[in-house]
């Protein structure tokens, strides 16, 4: 009553009739939720425009219907409001009433006054879809009493969801099954013929009900003949897959006990994954036992030759792994990369699963190397899982097995896993610090390349050879660190007093040459600080270049100044006849011109020699001061083994299973191959 008095005062003293009429809609929007029929009647009696719309294209009847205000709906319709008026989303008042009306009174009145239940919104949904999505069973029954639902949906059977703009993306059956509205589903099934209607991606109502765990809906669909083995269009998954992967044992039990249907418990999707694999992957133990009790095969491989046990090992599902082992799952089975469940458990750090697998492993462990020769110990060390390393080292076989020459210690120091490295040295002996890989590189090379100073110090303290050279380029750990600009590693190595700064690689470059060649000024200065021998300062490489040539060409001002102070020769010439001054030229032509000009200015000076001004193509230099292309060498590179991630999403990803490299890279996915 108070609100009515306020409206009346506004009408008399402020706005007048015209003002009230113009502001009718805003007033009605406030009035309807409060069911103030007196205010509505007052405004209607003044001649207000009851079909006037707001910015959303909604008339007062839309709001009355959405709020299930039967009296206001009755008043507006009785005053001539259009029952089929559409808002900007092409929704009629019946759409809103069907979604909100639990008693069905507004829906019934609108239908009695010729509201069209077949009107579709912009997405192709009509009042049947709205009533179904919100579980308004009574509204569905009222609509069905006016027009049969199969007629209302224009067609029935498999054509109910044609791929066109005029059809809704989901049928009412899908909406009811997805939201678990069993009553609405029952009404729909009494009218619609095809219980296995498909969504655009090929999923059936039964698949949606099972994926959401709506047991009653699944039971009702099965009772009406829904097929558990119908596959979707994209992933080729069945309702069994949906129930297993989402962990709904009740729905799974319904599907498996369907007597009038042929059930293939080992049905495979487009990646050849079975329901058992998906249940294990997500740790749904009850579903795993249900499938195993129905005879699911534990050894079925997927497209990557991985079994359910591989998935349990990678995701750390202890109970699922135990269930599979009880049914005879093999610990030794290998995937397409030669990796067993032991490899995956070690790589992902699941020490509990690893211990369980080791208890059932046969005495002979000679098979425990993957296609690259890596053992589970390699993977545990590489990823820094101390507990897994400790468990593996407790087994003598893992202490003896060799595998890839890129040893577990290489793997540990490569990723700065100092604790693992120390554990390996304590257990296997200090002699392992100087083991070499297939390219003759020691763990110290790997640590220097990665700039892991703690590991470098650990290795040096256990007798690592600081001056060991690899087999291909004859580079020492210091050279590798200098070439890659690993300043911390350079500092530790030169400060150890164990490194020979005069050593040269296969191209006769010293560590100083290499640091200067890549513009690593700080590394070069750290090395220079330890050099006092003028002969070493003027040491030449295979191209007869001194460090001063290289530093000048790279524009390393501070390094050049330090070299000059330490006695670097400005008269030294390289194989092209260039002094360090000429080495600063951006290309050979400029260098030749500069040489001619300087000789003309100082004809008697020995500062510049042009005795070897190149008239023909020159031999290739080791450190090319004047490259003919823009390609810049990246130096040496350690390629890391592919990552084995513990998260099950990456494990199941078809295009990159278990690793960040593609299938084409499988033969070159290790540090030992290319670093």
Q: What is the dihedral of CA 274, 278, 283, 287, to 10 degrees?
A: -50
464 and 555 together in one domain: no
Residue 76 has pLDDT above 70, yes or no: yes
On the question of pLDDT at 646 being above 70, the answer is: no
Q: What is the DSSP letter of 116?
A: -
In a domain, 335, yes or no: no
**537 and 456 in a common domain:** no
Q: Looking at the structure, tell me whether residues 621 and 507 fall in a common domain.
A: yes
Same structural domain, 618 and 578: yes
My answer on whether 512 and 623 are in the same domain is: yes
Is residue 471 included in any domain, yes or no?
Answer: yes
- Are residues 510 and 598 both part of a single domain? yes
Enclosing domain of residue 588: 502-628
Distance separating alpha carbons of residues 235 and 219, to the nearest angstrom: 24
Question: Do 572 and 620 fall within a single domain?
Answer: yes
Q: Which backbone phi and psi does 492 adopt, to 5 degrees?
A: -65, -40
Q: Which of 33-37, 205-209, 428-432, 658-662 has the lowest mean pLDDT?
A: 658-662
Phi, psi at residue 287, to the nearest 5°?
A: -65, -35
Residue 668 is assigned to a structural domain of this protein = no
| End-to-end Cα, the chain, rounded Å | 86
| E-only strand ranges, 106-252 | none
Asked whether residue 653 carries a pLDDT value surpassing 50, the answer given is no
Query: What pLDDT score was predicted for residue 72?
Result: 87
Residue 529 domain-assigned?
yes
Residue range 582-640, pLDDT digits in tens: 888 888 888 788 888 877 776 544 444 433 434 333 333 344 444 443 433 334 445 44
Domain-ending residue, one of 454, 479, 500: 500
Contact criterion met (CB below 8 Å) for 299 and 267: no
| pLDDT tens per residue, range 349-399 | 999 999 999 998 765 666 789 999 999 999 999 999 999 999 999 988 888
Q: Does residue 647 surpass a pLDDT of 60?
A: no
For residues 587 and 583, give the distance between their C-alpha atoms in angstroms, rounded to a whole number.
Answer: 9
- Has residue 268 been placed in a domain? no
Last residue of a domain, one of 485, 500, 515: 500
Which pLDDT score is estimated for 165?
47
For residue range 281-329, list pLDDT tens digits in order: 999 999 999 999 999 999 999 999 999 999 999 999 999 999 999 999 9
- Which pLDDT belongs to residue 46? 62
In the structure encoding, which two tokens stand for residue 203, read together?
């999923």
pLDDT tens, residue by residue, 464-520: 999 999 999 999 999 999 999 999 999 999 999 899 999 999 999 999 999 999 999
445 Rama sector, left if φ>0, alpha if ψ -120 to 50, beta otherwise: alpha
HEC string of 19-71 equals HHHHCHHHHHHHHHHHCCHHHHHHHHHCCCCCCCCCCCCCCHHHHHHHCCCHH
Q: Considering the domain boundaries, does residue 29 fall inside one?
A: no
Of 500, 533, 563, the one marking the end of a domain is 500
57's tokens: 């294209």
Of 115-119, 197-201, 255-259, the range with the lowest mean pLDDT is 255-259
pLDDT digits (tens, 9 = 90+) for 148-186: 988 887 633 333 333 444 456 889 999 999 999 999 999
Predicted confidence at residue 205, as pLDDT, reads 97
Residue 195 lies in a domain: no
pLDDT digits (tens, 9 = 90+) for 202-256: 999 999 999 999 999 999 999 999 999 999 999 999 999 999 999 999 999 999 9
For 50, 102, 274, 276, 352, the CA distances from 281, given in Å and listed in that order, are 59, 42, 11, 8, 16
Angle, vertex CA 479, rays to CA 475 and CA 482, nearest 5: 155
The pLDDT tens digits of the residues spanning 8-61 come to 444 444 444 434 444 444 444 444 444 466 666 666 666 566 678 899 999 999
Of 54-63, 267-276, 662-671, give the range with the top mean pLDDT: 267-276
Half-sphere exposure of 388 (CA within 13 A, CB side): 29
Res. 278: pLDDT tops 60: yes
Residues 479 and 586 in one domain: no
467 and 510 co-located in one domain: no
94, 127 contact by CB (below 8 A):
yes
Let me know whether 445 and 435 are in one domain. yes
Q: How confident is the model over 76-85, as a mean pLDDT?
A: 91
Contact between 616 and 654 under an 8 Å Cβ cutoff? The reply is no
Q: Do 517 and 619 fall into the same domain? A: yes
| pLDDT at residue 303, as a whole number | 97
User: Does 423 lie in the same domain as 493?
Assistant: yes
pLDDT attached to residue 589? 84
Task: Give tens-digit pLDDT for 530-574.
Answer: 999 999 999 999 999 999 999 999 999 999 999 999 999 999 999
Q: How far apart are CA 145 and CA 8, in angstroms?
A: 43
Q: Residue 455 is part of a domain; what is its CATH number?
A: 1.25.40.20
- How many CB atoms lie under 10 A from the CB of residue 317? 27
Q: Is residue 52 part of a domain?
A: no
How many structural domains does the chain have?
2
What average pLDDT does range 404-424 have in this prediction?
96
């Amino acid at each position: 009553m108070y609100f009515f008095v306020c409206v009346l005062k506004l009408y008399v003293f402020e706005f007048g009739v015209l003002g009230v009429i113009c502001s009718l809609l805003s007033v009605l929007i406030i009035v309807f939720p409060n069911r103030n029929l007196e205010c509505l009647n007052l405004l209607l009696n003044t001649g207000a425009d009851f079909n006037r719309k707001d910015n959303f294209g909604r008339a007062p009847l839309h709001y009355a219907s959405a709020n299930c205000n039967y009296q206001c709906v009755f008043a507006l319709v009785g005053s001539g409001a259009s029952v089929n008026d559409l808002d900007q989303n092409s929704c009629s008042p019946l759409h809103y009433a069907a979604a909100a009306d639990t008693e069905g009174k507004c829906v019934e009145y609108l239908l009695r006054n010729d509201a069209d239940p077949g009107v579709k919104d912009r997405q192709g949904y009509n009042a049947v879809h709205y009533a179904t999505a919100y579980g308004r069973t009574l509204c569905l029954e009222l609509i069905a009493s006016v027009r049969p639902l199969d007629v209302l949906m224009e067609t029935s059977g498999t054509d109910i969801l044609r791929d066109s703009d005029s059809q809704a993306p989901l049928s009412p059956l899908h909406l009811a099954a997805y939201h678990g509205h069993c009553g609405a589903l029952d009404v729909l099934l009494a009218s619609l013929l095809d219980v296995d209607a498909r969504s655009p991606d090929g999923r059936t109502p039964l698949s949606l009900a099972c994926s959401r765990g709506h047991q009653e809906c699944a039971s009702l669909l099965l009772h009406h003949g829904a097929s558990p083995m119908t596959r979707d269009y994209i992933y080729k998954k069945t309702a069994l897959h949906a129930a297993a992967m989402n962990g709904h044992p009740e729905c799974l039990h319904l599907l498996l006990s369907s007597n009038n249907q042929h059930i293939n418990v080992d049905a495979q999707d487009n990646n050849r994954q079975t329901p058992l694999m998906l249940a294990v992957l997500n740790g749904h133990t009850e579903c795993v036992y249900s499938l195993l009790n129905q005879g699911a095969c534990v050894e079925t491989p997927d497209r990557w030759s991985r079994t359910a046990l591989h998935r349990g090992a990678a995701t750390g599902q202890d109970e699922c792994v135990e269930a599979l082992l009880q049914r005879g799952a093999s610990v030794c089975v290998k995937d397409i990369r030669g990796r067993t469940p032991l490899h995956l458990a070690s790589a992902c750090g699941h020490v509990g699963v690893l211990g369980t697998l080791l208890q059932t492993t046969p005495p002979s462990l000679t098979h425990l190397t993957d296609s690259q020769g890596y053992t589970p110990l390699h993977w545990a060390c590489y990823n820094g899982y101390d507990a897994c390393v400790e468990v593996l080292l407790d087994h003598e076989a893992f202490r003896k097995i060799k595998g890839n020459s890129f040893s577990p210690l290489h793997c540990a120091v490569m990723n700065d896993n100092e604790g693992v490295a120390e554990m390996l040295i304590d257990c296997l002996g200090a002699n392992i610090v100087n083991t070499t890989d297939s390219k003759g590189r020691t763990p110290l090379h790997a640590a220097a390349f990665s700039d892991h100073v703690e590991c470098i110090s650990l290795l040096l303290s256990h007798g690592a050879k600081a001056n060991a050279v690899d087999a291909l380029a004859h580079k020492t750990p210091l050279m590798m660190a200098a070439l890659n600009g690993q300043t911390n590693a350079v500092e530790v190595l030169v400060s150890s007093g164990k490194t020979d700064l005069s050593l040269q690689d296969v191209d006769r470059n010293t560590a100083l040459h290499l640091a200067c060649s890549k513009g690593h000024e700080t590394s070069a200065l750290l090395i220079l600080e330890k050099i006092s021998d003028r002969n070493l300062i003027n040491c030449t490489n295979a191209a007869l270049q001194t460090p001063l040539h290289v530093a000048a060409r790279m524009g390393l001002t501070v390094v050049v100044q330090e070299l000059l102070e330490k006695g670097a020769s400005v008269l030294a010439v390289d194989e092209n006849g260039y002094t360090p001054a000429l080495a600063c030229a951006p290309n050979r032509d400029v260098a030749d011109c500069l040489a001619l000009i300087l000789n003309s200015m100082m004809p008697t000076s020995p500062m510049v020699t042009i005795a070897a001004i190149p008239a023909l193509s020159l031999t290739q230099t080791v450190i090319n001061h004047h490259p003919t292309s823009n390609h810049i060498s990246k130096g040496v590179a350690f390629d890391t083994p592919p990552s084995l991630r513990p998260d099950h999403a990456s494990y199941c990803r078809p295009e990159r299973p278990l690793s960040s490299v593609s299938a084409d890279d499988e033969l070159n996915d290790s540090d030992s191959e290319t670093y």
